[in-house]
């Protein structure tokens, strides 16, 4: 079955460490996105990529980095520069507009 996989589901890291969240899709979608969600809040866009080897900053890119070397993969690195990294991170992919997004099941990151 086609889908989008985020791993791990839960992640714990010590303050000051970089951590990379995985996102893989086998839907043959060109576009991929990373969102952050805090408790009781909506989704905020971190980075997005419309094609391999290209990506753009979203509204809250500071302290995060991404790469898009393969169509299927869009990993997100949360760096030590991110001041408040504890959150629920969601990855999504999409066919060409206007079609809808497919979301992964999320990674809950806790920094202690």
Partner 1 sequence: DAKTTQPNSMESNEEEPVHLPCNHSTISGTDYIHWYRQLPSQGPEYVIHGLTSNVNNRMASLAIAEDRKSSTLILHRATLRDAAVYYCILRDVNPNRDDKIIFGKGTRLHILP
Q: Which residues of 70-81 are buried (b: 16+ CB within 10 A; e: fewer)?
A: ebbebbbebeee
Residue 90 binds partner 1, judged by CB under 8 A? yes
| Residue from 15, 42, 83, 112 in contact with partner 1 (CB under 8 A) | 42
Q: How far is CA 13 from CA 1, 26, 93, 102, in A?
A: 32, 28, 26, 27
Residue 75 binds partner 1, judged by CB under 8 A? no
**The pair of three-digit structure tokens given for residue 61, joined into one six-digit string:** 């890119």
Residue 11 binds partner 1, judged by CB under 8 A? no
Residues interacting with partner 1, by CB under 8 A?
31, 33, 35, 40-45, 48, 50, 56, 58-59, 88, 90, 92, 94, 97-106, 108
């Amino acid at each position: 079955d086609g889908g989008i996989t985020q791993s791990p589901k839960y992640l714990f890291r010590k303050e000051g460490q970089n951590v990379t969240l995985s996102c893989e899709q086998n839907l043959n979608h060109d576009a991929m996105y990373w969102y952050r969600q805090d408790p009781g809040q909506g989704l905020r866009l971190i980075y997005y990529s419309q094609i391999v080897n290209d990506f753009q900053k979203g509204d809250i890119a500071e302290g995060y980095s991404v790469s898009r070397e393969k169509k299927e993969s869009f990993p997100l690195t949360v760096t030590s520069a991110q001041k408040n990294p504890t959150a629920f991170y969601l990855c999504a992919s999409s066919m060409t507009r206007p079609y809808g997004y497919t979301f992964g099941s999320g990674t809950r990151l806790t920094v202690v």
